[in-house]
Amino acid sequence: MPILLTRIDNRLIHGQVGMTWVMTLQANLVVVVDDNVAEDPLQQTLMSSVLQTSGAGVRFFSVQKMIDVIHKASDRQKIFIVVPNPEVAWKLVEGGVPIEEINIGNMHFSKGKTQLSKKVYVDENDLDYLHKIRDYGVKLYIQDVPGDNKEFIK
């Protein structure tokens, strides 16, 4: 399967994802999976502009569309999936998207969340989904940028 990596980043596509990760992975397609963004042309335009110089294409799919179409992906595609939170990641895993590992890159602080790392804050709901993903056999780790050490979640 041509999925290179799945990343949880509540910012979705931004400079770090659009350049550093895409270039390091040598991805030729970034798929943002978010039900809201899939219906929001303005957000799509803004995120697409970040990828213009990377050479990668971009698609914006709802969770269900991703589940429905991933098995039709060509072997030529080198796919980098970006999701906003652990719940969406779990829905993809549960829906049969062949994800082997998930990079947790950024989850902003908000009330009720505790710090796991410099840029990752979670609440009980997030932890429940992360544990489901881990228990399903998917490797989970925190890594801000490609050169950083991976902090595996056990």
Q: What is the pLDDT of residues 39-53, one digit of tens each?
A: 999 999 999 998 888
Q: What is the pLDDT of residues 49-74, one digit of tens each?
A: 988 888 899 999 999 999 999 999 99
- The domains found in the chain, sorted by start residue, are 3-152 (3.40.35.10)
Q: What is the pLDDT of residues 125-140, one digit of tens each?
A: 999 999 999 999 999 9
Going by the DSSP 8-state scheme, the letter that residue 51 receives in this structure is: H
108 is catalytic: no
Identify the H or E element spanning 29: strand 29-33
| Cα-based distances in Å from 133 to 22, 27, 90, 93, 129 | 24, 23, 6, 7, 6
Q: What is the pTM of this model?
A: 0.94
Write down the mean pLDDT value for the chain: 93
The residue from 14, 71, 108, 131 that is catalytic is 14
